[in-house]
Structure 1
């Protein structure tokens, strides 16, 4: 899981390649719930870069991308959004895998 430290670094992951942005925060209980299974999800989708985006650090990006609930996921390829799983509900491993399986590029 990549954890960008600057807006420029974060933007570079949007512009080129296949990326899954995982919006999270340290204080988020539902984020803490899903984090332990994220390596398993990453292993099933090696063609994607997984980017952990701290919602508090990148609050302007979260607002621009309409991320008002976390944990949330946005998938991009070469600057184009392929899909999003964005809501304020707790996510399960199965729900995330089903979302990724149904992406248009798969």
Structure 2
């Protein structure tokens, strides 16, 4: 199950390893399409931590990243933002992005 994070625990929960965070809202249609893709990936990737944050309930973190549209997906590696993806992305697109940070070069 994708871990729900808040403004209070976001930094702590996303500071180690490769973490993908899905910024979403209940009223967002594309977010509802993105969520099952994230869920499917989460079930098949033990090398990535998957988290999600409701932007309406947690405004501070999205604001700190300049998130103006949702869904926005942020990939962090060891606490540093390495990718910011805006809009819906397919499973294959997300696999390509995550593989850049999880596979040894």
The Cα RMSD (Å) is 1.8
The corresponding residue for 2:54 is 54
The corresponding residue for 1:14 is 14
SS of corresponding position for 2:39: helix
For the structure 1 residues 90 and 7, does the alpha-carbon distance in structure 2 shift closer, same or farther, using more than 3 Å as the test?
A: closer
CA distance in structure 2 between the partners assigned to 1:97 and 1:78 by the alignment = 18
The answer for unaligned runs of 5 or more in structure 1 is none
CA distance in structure 1 between the partners assigned to 2:74 and 2:88 by the alignment = 16
For the structure 1 residues 93 and 104, does the alpha-carbon distance in structure 2 shift closer, same or farther, using more than 3 Å as the test?
A: closer
Alignment pair present for 1:36 and 2:36: yes
Residues 53-89 of structure 1: CA distance to partner in whole angstroms, max 9, x if unpaired? 111122121111121111111111221122221x2x3
Question: What is the aligned length?
Answer: 102
Structure 1 segments, 4+ long, off by >3 Å, are none
CA distance in structure 2 between the partners assigned to 1:70 and 1:96 by the alignment = 16
